[in-house]
Amino acid sequence: MAKYIIKRILWAIPVLLGVLIIVFTITYLTPGDPVQTILGNGYTPEKYAKKAAELGLDKGYLAQLGSYIWNVVTRFDFGKSYMTNIPVITELTTRMGTTFSIAFLSIIVTILIGIPCGIIAAIKQYSALDYGFTSFALICSAIPSFVIAPVLLVVFGVKLRWLPLSGLDEWKSYILPVFVNALGGIALLTRMTRTSMLETIRQDYIRTARAKGLRESVIIWKHAMKNTMIPVITVTGSWLAMLMGGALIVELIFSIPGLGTYLYGGISNRDYPIINGSVILTAFIVCMMSIVVDILYAVVDPRIKAQFSSGKKKKKSVQAAKEAA
């Protein structure tokens, strides 16, 4: 198992390198010149040349790519923002904390609400609860977050004055952004869990469990849950990866200085170091998240774990059985 994890992590490196090269190339080729953006219009050729040399943009493509990769690999130096001169790595690490905290809170709320709702909807299929939950999920995913967020702001921030509207000064500030993020996730997770659970309880082994005389609740929680979780883990993992990359709309509307707005600003200004650095970080998050998801699969489904286990495991289980007998 450990060998597998190490192998996956090592595989992430060429993936990240590939992402780096592709993103670098795309931003290089996109129309729009950071030097022009900084200088505005009406500059002289000399001024342009001077600024370009300052930013290292006068060298050829390969030279720029080469020096960038070298800096990243040897010193974790992602360069400095052309606009603000702040080192990208500094900004990324600061904003990571903000974005990740919201992401983790959101996913916890999503899981706590989404999964039980999906399970209830599946168990009581065709009942009022089922229709209620699935309709709610549909509405939540149909209404975009940039509509929900301002509405909530107006209701809770302006009219009722219960919650702060922007920034992350106090714990109350987290409520609305987390909630808006969670709504989208809940919609997704409810539907996913419901579908998966419906499929699972139709399986033969559930019938066997019933024939053993077990109570419905035990059947759901002990026999059906683990099997239901596999597609749910996939979906949750990718949702969390997306949130960790920075949910842009939420960050914009609630004025949260996170990774999403950082990348957005970078793109508008053609601030290449910001764009490249943010994308690499996002790619890294996605790689790590997929490794975590794979590990969780192995935890939940022993058939998958069996692919990784070595001889050691078998010996251990034999020992245990012998002791039990």
Partner 1 sequence: MKKLRTLVCLLLVVLMVLALGACGSKKSDDAEISKAAVPGKEGSGYKYDSVTIGCSIMPNFITGTTPAENDGACSLVFDEVFKVDPVTKEVKSEILEDWHFEDDTTLVMKLKDNVYFSNGDKATAEDVLFSYSSHVDRSSAYIWEFNILYDECEIVDELTLKMKFSTFYSAFFSSYIIYLYDKSWAESVGWDSLDWQKPVGTGPYVVSDYKIDDHATFTARDDYWNKDKDPVTIREWVLKYYKDTSTMEMDLEAGNIAMCQFSASEYERFQKDGGKGYDVLTGSAGVNHFFQMGFLENDCWYDKNIREAFAVGIPWDEFGQVVLGVTWKQATSSVPSDSPEYKNVGTYKYDLEKAKQLMTAAGYSEEKPLEIHTVTMESPYFSKCCEAFEYYCNQMYVKFTFDLKDIAATINDWNTPGSGVECGFYYDNFGSQDGQYVRGLDWAANPNGSNWTFIDDEYYDNLYLEVAASTDLQTRIAKSQELQQYTYDEFLAIPYSEMTFQVGYRTDVFGKAQMERAVMNSEYWNLANMSYASAWN
Partner 2 sequence: MSLLEIRDLTIQYKTRKSVVEAVNGINLKIDEGKTLGLVGETGAGKTTTALGILGLVPNPPGVIAGGEIYFEGKDLLKAKDSEIRKIRGNKISMIFQDPMTALNPVIRVGDQIAEVIALHSGCSKSEASAKSIEMLELVGIRAERSTEYPHQFSGGMKQRVVIAMALACQPKLLIADEPTTALDVTIQAQVLEMMNDLKVRLNTSMLLITHDLGIVAETCDDVAIMYAGQIVEYGTLAHIFDNPMHPYTIGLFGSIPSLDKDVDRLTPIPGLMPDPANLPKGCNFCERCTRKCDRCAESEPEYLEVEPGHFVRCSNLNGGAENV
Show contacts with partner 1 in window 165-224 (CB under 8 A): 165-167, 172, 175, 216-217, 221
Q: Which is nearer to partner 1, 16 or 110 (CB)?
A: 110
Q: Rounded to the nearest whole angstrom, what is the least distance from the CB of residue 161 to partner 1 in the complex? A: 5
d(CA 290, CA 298): 13
Contact 180, 256 (CB under 8 A): no
Q: x/- site string to partner 2, residues 277 to 316, per CB under 8 A?
A: -----------------------xxxx--x----------
Q: Rounded to the nearest whole angstrom, what is the least distance from the CB of residue 77 to partner 1 in the complex? A: 15
CA dist list (Å): 288 to 6, 94, 164, 207, 301: 11, 19, 34, 38, 20
- 3-state class of 285 per DSSP? helix
Tokens of 262: 């950082």
- Collect all residues with Cβ–Cβ distance below 8 Å to 26 and sequence separation of at least 6: none
d(CA 178, CA 174): 6
Phi, psi of 195 (to 5 degrees): -60, -45
Selected binder of partner 1 within 63, 139, 154, 306 (CB under 8 A): 154
150 binds partner 1, rule: CB under 8 A? yes
Q: Rounded to the nearest whole angstrom, what is the least distance from the CB of residue 113 to partner 2 in the complex? A: 25
- Collect all residues with Cβ–Cβ distance below 8 Å to 180 and sequence separation of at least 6: 145, 148, 149, 152, 250
| Number of chain positions touching partner 1 (CB under 8 A) | 54
318 binds partner 2, rule: CB under 8 A? yes
For residue 80, the cross-strand partners are 87
Contact 17, 281 (CB under 8 A): no
226 binds partner 2, rule: CB under 8 A? yes
39 binds partner 1, rule: CB under 8 A? yes
Quick one: what does residue 195 bind among partner 2, partner 1, none, with the CB cut-off 5 to 8 Å set by partner type? none
Site for partner 1, rule CB under 8 A = 31-34, 36-44, 47, 50, 83-86, 91, 112-113, 116, 119-120, 150, 153-154, 157-158, 160-167, 172, 175, 216-217, 221, 251-255, 257, 261-262, 268-270
Q: Which residues bind partner 2 (CB under 8 A)?
A: 126, 203-205, 207-215, 222-223, 226-227, 300-303, 306, 317-318, 320-322, 324-325
